[in-house]
Amino acid sequence: MSASDTQSPLRLFWREFSENKFAVGSLVVVVLLAVVAFLAPLLVPQDPYNLELLSLLDARRPPGFVGSGGYVHVLGTDPQGRDLLSAIFYGLRISIIIGLAAGAIALVLGTIVGIFAAYAGGWIETVLMRVIDLQLSFPAILLALVLVALLGQGKGQLIAALVAAQYAYFARTAYGAAKAERRKDYVEAALATPLAGYKVAVRHLLPNCMPPLIVVATVQIANAISLEATLSFLGLGLPVTEPSLGMLISNGFPYMMSGRYWISVFPGIALIILIVAINVVGDQIRDQFNPRLRK
Amino acid sequence: MKAKQLLASLAVALGVAVSAAGVSAQTLTMGVRGGPESLDPHYSALGSHAEAAKHIFDTLVWSGDDLQIEPGLATSWKPLNETTWEFKLREGVKFHDGSTFDAEDVKFSIERIPAVSGPTTTTIYVRRVESVEIIDPYTIHIHTNGPAATLPYDFVRLFIVSAEAAKDYSTKETASAGFNGGPAAVGTGPYKLVSWEPKGDLVLERFDDYWRGKGAWEKVIRKEIPNDSARLAALKAGQVDIINYVSSVDYLALQRDSSVDAVVGDSVYIMNLQLDQRPDTPKVYAMDGSKLAENPLQNPKVREAIDLAIDRETMVDIVLEGLGKPANQMMPAGFFGSSEKIPARVHDSAKAKALLAEAGYPDGFQMDLYCTSDRLPGDGAICQGLGQMFSQIGIKTNVNAISKTVYFPAQSRLEYSVFMNGWGTLTGEASYTLGALAHSNDPDVKMGAFNRVAYKNEKVDELMEKGAMTLDADARRALYEEAMELTMADRVYIPVVQLQTVWATKAGKLSFPPRFDEDTLAFFIKPKG
Amino acid sequence: MTLVLDVQDLCTSFHTRAGVVKAVNGVSFTLRKGEVLGLVGESGSGKTVTGFSLLGLVDAPGRIDRGRIVLNGQDLVGLPERELRKRRGRDIAMIFQDPIATLNPLLSIRTQMTMALDAHASMGRAAAEKRCVEVLEKVGIPDPRSRLDNYPHEFSGGMRQRVAIAIALLHNPSVIVADEPTTALDVSIQAQILHEMRSLAQETGTALIWISHDLATVSSLATRLLVMYAGRVVEEGPTAEVLNNPRHPYTRGLIDSLPATAEPGKPLSQIPGTTPSLLSLGQGCPFKPRCTYATDICDTAPALSAVTKRAWRCHHPLAMEGAA
Amino acid sequence: MLGFVIQRLIQASLVMAAMSVIVFVGVYAIGNPIEIIIPPEATQEIREATIRSLGLDLPLWKQYFIFVGNLTEGDFGRSFIYNLPVLELILGRLPATLELVLISVISATVGGVVLGIYAGYRPDSIIAKTIMAVSVLGFSVPSFWVGLILILTFAVNLGWLPAGGRGETVSLFGVQWSFLTFDGLSHIVLPALNLAFFKLAMMIRLARAGTRETMLTDTIKFARAAGISEGRILRRHLLKLISIPIITVFGLELGSTLAFAVVTETIFSWPGVGKLIIDSIAVLDRPVMVAYLILTALLFVLINLTVDLVFAFIDPRIRAKGA
């Protein structure tokens, strides 16, 4: 069968991907959660941030309670009388936005640093990679913790801290791939031509960095979401009035011991589903990119 | 006896824990939220620090369960003139090392404070003291830098250390080594220091010659468990006998739990709303976000509307799950200077809306409400609840419940227009509260330091200044009550709820009186039956 | 001479999600004591899988579907793993292409040899060392006793392969399967090893199955050739006869693409096309798409034709020189 | 080998010097500790007196200079909050953290390697798939959530294990350890489990990937062809071959677990350095932060050095290069 001649690499990739039903299921979940997050305002019965719509009289009601708004609180309500389903959808939105933003910025920044180091060579390469290695050996959580404490609360600050904690992974990956490519003859040849250096980097080095970077990106987005939740839990994340999933879990946890499990458990489940699904997709992509496991 | 000893040493040698039940008969293990920052009692003015220090040291003036002052190491005190107070000291009091307490120790302790105080400074307790004069071993005169009517109240956290034991440990560099390690940590209090680990366990042993009598427990272990859930879990698991600060969240479930007794006590903390009176206030806007011509918070009708919008019953029942009381003034009832004439606050949304319209804001306006989310139980939740209530009368409220590390610096820089604070009248009398909040900010008379809303009522200023000069307690009380009534009527400070605190113990095991200052003191905890 | 190995109708296939890959499809051959059999074919022709099948080392999802592998009179197919293991290394051994990859870089030669010895014999330390030294000497490692405690990285490529061969020889097996054992080595060392292997086979009576894609090396060593294509044997016969007079167009193609046979100045001839996917083999001759002699009849599978010592599988066998 | 160690130590001091500058400038540039340390009730005079007594009135470079000067004498400074020498404060709490981290990392590694090898050796079995599902969970579920669930299940609902604290300790070599008493052990189980869960998942993945790749290599095939039993192949060949990435990660993880202990220690009220640092961060107790980060960096370098030495021990090729 010579179908491979007519299929784009992307379609081939998808064919292999679709063989793993679990990964496909996870991808569907990720897409679904993303859609839910971005369409949250259209889907939820209540805007959880509009205080006018909340009533303390509805606070901490179990799943299935019909509140003063006249609709069923499918997952119950939180200590402010917020519909938990709505809060989770909005929380998902915040978590995903932060994860994506931090992941994307770290990706761009890390790739630039990595490729630049590989392209520049010499002492620049040595210094840059020493710094990157040093940072990699330093735990992300600690760095993020210190930065968030110093920068203060807020989405921007949080994303900045996450980027600072994560870009090194991208830089290392891009550097590794670019370095391998840089040694190849055709790149050397291209560098000898009058073609501008950055064009060589973009045209030849960048494409070869993409597959491993995609793998790192999926993992790091999941990590960013998880890290954000952890920071929120430690009280260093976002303000309580615009809760991310981590903040919802943290806010609800004190109620666990008194049996009002839903306030913390449902956001927790949402968070875990999201991260597990992203990781399963990432795993599959990684396996597909790993030449050593392919025969 | 021998065999038991052998067994015990064997157990230690084998690394086996001696069964907890075996040693606990005379041991009290307390699980507390926070602890001392040092064992030098003069290091920090934090409540948890003083609470721990009270186990080892005594104060000159004792603050009773309801924060009214009682004799401590001083048996009596009286003002001699405008700037002199005489304190008579208790005779026959022994330090842990067997030496006798006298006036030298008091003078030494007072003079030592500025040298060793940490950042949360204890110098506030002696800020009025000009000098200390020893008349005889059991009489001292305190000369003040001006009339100091409330000096005895300042002394409720003035701990007396042994001049002999602490003399080499009274500089910043040496103090912590001397006290934390032990040689200087010699007090007259009910317990002797055995060991202490910062943020860990404080282990104490009974002082049999304590002047109040012998305590009920031979050994006291004070464990720091900052996490509310973990503390409760430790009690349920039998690791500790008593815990403080049960969160309101767990209180309901606790009442249904037969294995645990809950003791509820009123707290000194009153959650209150503060409204900026500056003409140009930063965080109040029109509905569309534009700047308003004038500050609506300066309008008494708007302030009344805000007051009427607050449903205090719901706040107590729902947000605090019953652990609180609606508050109508800035101090709990019964405190020196709180007034019985102030009526309970009412909730009336309809009237609030009408008042807003009358004041020229029929469509409402917008404001940012700031508060801490990690300082006092329920602070973030109460503040979000307030946001709902204000939004419902047409004042669109953006709630910012933030970390105290961000909140307080910004608040002191006057960056907020509307904010909710918890205020605790730690001395139990009104000059502490009204002098700091209600008097206009005036460094010359050292009043109004925490008036961060530019509140000024000439009459209140006058009453407070007069009170500070009035040495007669009853006359002073009347002045303070009037000041309180006036301030509350102005509604610049709007009290919301008074918090309550809960202790929990193993069912039927312990009895103790809850204290207003929320201290958990081993000496006053008795075994039941 | 005695027959040590008799393989009949060996079929090994891989059951993947995409379908069944018949890697070895009805291969039969015999091997006598001391004989060197060359197994040639392009990559993917099934020669390596054949080698692994003989040792019962086909990785999942592959398995032997049918056939017999009679080694010293006993059929190995269907034997439990435990029994197979007893024979591996003792009766039949294998060496691989890349000596860097076969030896464990983290273990000393002594450890690796001792482990292989212990697999089938329990002997004392001294006896074990004696045996190791003996074998290393045999494969031409100078000063073997002192080199026992060296690690693989301390040997050159050729020496490393010699160590691997020594390990294979430890138990004097009846058969050694050598899977491209010289491909990774320098040409001069290749020749040395080839030479040594040949004399070893003669000396010890061990039969060799020499698997290679390189007809040239195999022909200098093997007494008989087995040409495989797409999982089948397409031609078989004594080396000289097959080389001088191939019957199968594929064998011809292989011979023509040898640099030695090319006329100077002319481009090397190549077999057009690529090896077919074993997943989508039809009924007919698998070489048909690449064969210049192909006709309609090639859509049916050719049977094996045989004359004394020679066999081939083709509808259009090339003329036999001097016989017709 | 000595030269190698010296080279590493020089590298370490450079790293720590860089670290101290970064942290020092970072804490100063962005956060002003005085706002947080001084109680909101403080008057202006008290405020200024405190700033002076903490040395915060000096220009930044001068503060750093003083800090470095003290550091050369082994003095990391005093905590703003506790007025205790920082080193004493940190070292006093280090054993609790080390104990927790070592127990969890070692058990996670042992468990993870065993499970991972199995999952890589029999990748299609149900057990392998279950192991992998557990590892995906372990990899994904945030650590704090695992901690909460552990407390809820084993401490609150079942009441089997304590929810927090360190329990009884026994003094050994002048340091308090809890793993030597039964009570202490019962306290360490849940936090160690919590901390180990993520590492376990990581080790499973690593061992599985290593096993899968290694099992396909000619080394294993050659060993099999020599008739060596599977058990011996796994123990003697595979384990050694996959040990290099595992030890690398073990070293890295030892460090990162030390940092991640921050979360676990907070949840379980474990009195280690993690809790100290989170409390210090909350109040911007700069001397503690700086010292902690410098010591962490030092610890990292030491761990890396040890890992390198272990490598040399395992891999003769590296040994050859190092010599």
Chain segment C219-247, per-residue pLDDT in tens = 888 888 888 888 888 888 898 888 888 88
Q: What residues of A are in contact with residue C280 (Cβ under 8 Å)?
A: 1
Exposure string (b/e) for B371-383, b if CB count within 10 Å is 16 or more?
bbbebbbbbbbbb
Q: Which residues, other chains included, contact D143 with Cβ-Cβ below 8 Å and sequence gap of 6+? A: A230, D194, D195, D197, D198, D260, D263, D264
3 state SS of C277 = coil
- Contacting A with CB below 8 Å, chain B residues are 228-229, 232-233, 247, 249-250, 252-253, 311, 314-315, 318-319, 373-374, 380-381, 384-385, 387-388, 390-392, 396-403, 406
- Confidence band, pLDDT 50/70/90 cuts, at residue C324: very low
- Confidence band, pLDDT 50/70/90 cuts, at residue B20: very low
Domains and CATH numbers, chain D: 1-81+287-323 (no CATH), 95-282 (1.10.3720.10)
By CA distance, what is B257's nearest residue in A?
A258
**Which range (A133-142, A222-231, C298-307) has the least confidence?**
A133-142
Pick the CATH number of B40-175 from 3.90.76.10, 3.30.1340.10, 1.10.1040.10, 1.20.1290.10: 3.90.76.10
Structure tokens at B184: 């200087």
Chain B: list its partners (3+ Cβ pairs within 8 Å).
Answer: A, D
User: Shortest CB distance from A19 goes to which of C17, C277, C280?
Assistant: C17
Residue B390 pLDDT > 90, yes or no? yes
Rounded Cα distance between B450 and D40, Å, is 9
Residue A1 pLDDT > 70, yes or no? no
Contact D222 C86 (CB under 8 A): no
Which pLDDT belongs to residue B132?
95
Rounded Cα distance between D95 and D170, Å, is 12
Rounded Cα distance between C249 and C228, Å, is 12
Which pLDDT belongs to residue B188?
95
Rounded Cα distance between B20 and C301, Å, is 86
- Confidence band, pLDDT 50/70/90 cuts, at residue B14: very low
In 3D, which of B55, B59, B96 has the Cα closest to residue B220?
B55
Instruction: Tell me if chain A has a CB within 8 Å of the CB of C17.
Output: yes
ipTM comes to 0.72
Backbone angles phi, psi at B325, to 5 degrees: -135, 145
Q: What residues of A are in contact with residue B388 (Cβ under 8 Å)?
A: 51-52, 54-56, 80-81
Q: What residues of C are in contact with residue A1 (Cβ under 8 Å)?
A: 277, 279-280
Rounded Cα distance between A137 and D254, Å, is 11
Which pLDDT belongs to residue B16?
36
Q: Which residues, other chains included, contact C101 with Cβ-Cβ below 8 Å and sequence gap of 6+? A: D217, D218, D219
Contact A19 C280 (CB under 8 A): no
Question: What letter does residue B515 receive in the DSSP assignment?
Answer: -
Which pLDDT belongs to residue B24?
45
Peptide bond into C61 cis (omega under 30): yes
Rounded Cα distance between D251 and D233, Å, is 26
Which pLDDT belongs to residue D35?
66
Q: What residues of D are in contact with residue C88 (Cβ under 8 Å)?
A: 224-227
Instruction: Tell me if chain A has a CB within 8 Å of the CB of C277.
Output: yes
By CA distance, what is D146's nearest residue in A?
A268
Q: Which of A1, A15, A20 to mutate to test the interface with C (most CBs of C within 10 A)?
A: A1
Which pLDDT belongs to residue C251?
87
Which pLDDT belongs to residue D12?
67
pLDDT digits (tens, 9 = 90+) for B409-430: 788 788 999 999 889 888 888 9
User: Shortest CB distance from D227 goes to which of C106, C119, C153?
Assistant: C119
Q: What residues of D are in contact with residue C96 (Cβ under 8 Å)?
A: 218, 221-222
Q: What residues of B are in contact with residue D70 (Cβ under 8 Å)?
A: none
Which pLDDT belongs to residue B58?
94
- Confidence band, pLDDT 50/70/90 cuts, at residue B85: very high
- The more confidently predicted of residues B430 and C324 is B430
- The more confidently predicted of residues A246 and B95 is B95
If residue C39 lies in a helix (H) or strand (E), which one and from where to where?
A: strand C36-40
Q: Which residues, other chains included, contact D56 with Cβ-Cβ below 8 Å and sequence gap of 6+? A: D33, D34, D63
User: Shortest CB distance from D271 goes to which of B120, B123, B200?
Assistant: B200
Q: Which of D269, D273, D275, D285 to mutate to test the interface with B (most CBs of B within 10 A)?
A: D269
Instruction: Tell me if chain B has a CB within 8 Å of the CB of A99.
Output: no
Contact D263 A279 (CB under 8 A): no
Contact B510, B525 (CB under 8 A): yes
Rounded Cα distance between A160 and A144, Å, is 9
Contact B95, B101 (CB under 8 A): yes
Q: Structural domain boundaries of chain C?
A: 3-222
**Highest mean pLDDT, choosing among A281-290, B193-202, B338-347, D17-26:** B338-347
- Confidence band, pLDDT 50/70/90 cuts, at residue B3: very low
By CA distance, what is A2's nearest residue in C?
C277
Q: How far is A131 from chain D (nearest CA, A)?
A: 9
Q: Which residues, other chains included, contact A244 with Cβ-Cβ below 8 Å and sequence gap of 6+? A: A91, A94, A95, A98, A228, A229, A232, A237, A238
In 3D, which of B104, B110, B95 has the Cα closest to residue B41?
B110
Angle at the Cα of A160 from the Cα atoms of A159 and A164, rounded to 5 degrees: 115
- Confidence band, pLDDT 50/70/90 cuts, at residue B496: very high
**Which range (B344-353, C148-157, D277-286) has the least confidence?**
D277-286
Q: How far is D228 from chain C (nearest CA, A)?
A: 5
- Confidence band, pLDDT 50/70/90 cuts, at residue B235: confident
Q: Which of D47, D83, D270, D288 to mutate to test the interface with B (most CBs of B within 10 A)?
A: D83
Residue C248 pLDDT > 80, yes or no? yes
Q: Tell me if there are at least 3 CB pairs under 8 Å linking chains C and B.
A: no
Structure tokens at D157: 């609902």
| Mean per-residue pLDDT, A211-223 | 86
Q: Quick one: CATH architecture of C3-222?
A: 3-Layer(aba) Sandwich (3.40)
According to CATH, the topology of domain B2-8+267-500 is Dipeptide-binding Protein; domain 3 (3.10.105)
Token pair 């959530």 is at which residue? D145
Q: Which of A150, A247, A257, A263 to mutate to test the interface with B (most CBs of B within 10 A)?
A: A257
Q: How far is A239 from chain B (nearest CA, A)?
A: 6
In 3D, which of A173, A98, A99 has the Cα closest to residue A132?
A173
Rounded Cα distance between D314 and D319, Å, is 8
Half-sphere exposure of A35 (CA within 13 A, CB side): 6
Contact D140 A138 (CB under 8 A): no
- Confidence band, pLDDT 50/70/90 cuts, at residue B380: confident
Average pLDDT for chain B: 88
Which pLDDT belongs to residue B108?
95
Question: What letter does residue D153 receive in the DSSP assignment?
Answer: I
A267 dihedral zone (left: phi>0; alpha: psi -120 to 50; beta): alpha
Chain C: list its partners (3+ Cβ pairs within 8 Å).
Answer: A, D
Query: Can B2-8+267-500 and B40-175 be said to share one CATH topology?
Result: no
- Other beta carbons within 10 angstroms of residue A3's beta carbon come to 9
Angle at the Cα of B63 from the Cα atoms of B59 and B66, rounded to 5 degrees: 165
Q: Tell me if there are at least 3 CB pairs under 8 Å linking chains D and B.
A: yes
Residue B244 pLDDT > 80, yes or no? yes
Rounded Cα distance between A215 and A217, Å, is 5
Contact A154, A98 (CB under 8 A): no
**Which range (B27-41, B493-507, C292-306, D19-33) has the least confidence?**
D19-33
Q: Which of B249, B316, B374 to mutate to test the interface with A (most CBs of A within 10 A)?
A: B249
Residue A252 pLDDT > 90, yes or no? no
Rounded Cα distance between C5 and C174, Å, is 9
| Mean per-residue pLDDT, C264-281 | 72
The DSSP bridge partners found for residue B423 are B270
Residue type, B527: P
- The Cα-based distances of A139 to A191, C92, C243, D175 in angstroms read 37, 52, 66, 27
Q: How far is D116 from chain C (nearest CA, A)?
A: 19
Backbone angles phi, psi at B78, to 5 degrees: -155, 150
Contact B180 D84 (CB under 8 A): yes
Half-sphere exposure of A210 (CA within 13 A, CB side): 7
Residue C81 pLDDT > 80, yes or no? yes
Instruction: Tell me if chain C has a CB within 8 Å of the CB of A293.
Output: no
Which pLDDT belongs to residue B55?
95
Which pLDDT belongs to residue B454?
94
Which pLDDT belongs to residue B137?
95
3 state SS of B523 = helix
Q: Structural domain boundaries of chain B?
A: 2-8+267-500, 40-175
Count of helices and strands (H, E) across chain C: 11, 12
Q: What residues of A are in contact with residue B247 (Cβ under 8 Å)?
A: 254
Contact D236 C101 (CB under 8 A): no
In 3D, which of B50, B26, B24, B27 has the Cα closest to residue B38?
B50
Residue A225 pLDDT > 60, yes or no? yes
Contact B392 A52 (CB under 8 A): yes
Contact B234, B364 (CB under 8 A): no
Contact B402 A54 (CB under 8 A): no
Q: Structural domain boundaries of chain A?
A: 21-40+75-293
Which pLDDT belongs to residue B427?
81
Q: What residues of A are in contact with residue C279 (Cβ under 8 Å)?
A: 1
Contact C141, C166 (CB under 8 A): yes
Rounded CA Rg of chain A: 23
Rounded Cα distance between C172 and A135, Å, is 56
Contact B232 A254 (CB under 8 A): no
Rounded Cα distance between A207 and A213, Å, is 10
Angle at the Cα of B440 from the Cα atoms of B439 and B444, rounded to 5 degrees: 95
Q: Which of D19, D97, D140, D307 to mutate to test the interface with A (most CBs of A within 10 A)?
A: D140
Give the distance, in angstroms, between the CA of residue A178 and the centroid of all CA atoms in the same chain.
Answer: 24
Rounded CA Rg of chain B: 25
Q: Give me the CATH code for the A21-40+75-293 domain, please.
A: 1.10.3720.10
Which pLDDT belongs to residue B475?
94
Q: How far is A19 from chain C (nearest CA, A)?
A: 9
Q: Tell me if there are at least 3 CB pairs under 8 Å linking chains B and A.
A: yes
The interaxial angle of helices C47-55 and D218-225, nearest 10 deg, is 40
Q: How far is D243 from chain C (nearest CA, A)?
A: 10
Rounded Cα distance between D9 and B190, Å, is 52
Q: How far is C178 from chain D (nearest CA, A)?
A: 11
How would you write the pLDDT of chain D (323 residues) with one tens digit per residue? 667 677 767 766 776 777 677 767 766 665 566 766 666 556 666 677 777 777 777 787 888 888 888 887 778 888 887 777 888 888 888 888 888 888 998 999 899 999 988 888 887 888 888 888 888 888 888 888 888 888 878 877 777 887 777 766 666 776 677 776 777 778 888 899 888 888 898 889 888 888 888 888 888 888 888 878 888 888 888 888 888 878 877 887 787 787 778 888 888 878 888 878 887 877 777 788 888 877 877 777 778 778 777 877 777 776 665 54
Rounded Cα distance between C231 and C281, Å, is 10
Contact A88, A248 (CB under 8 A): yes
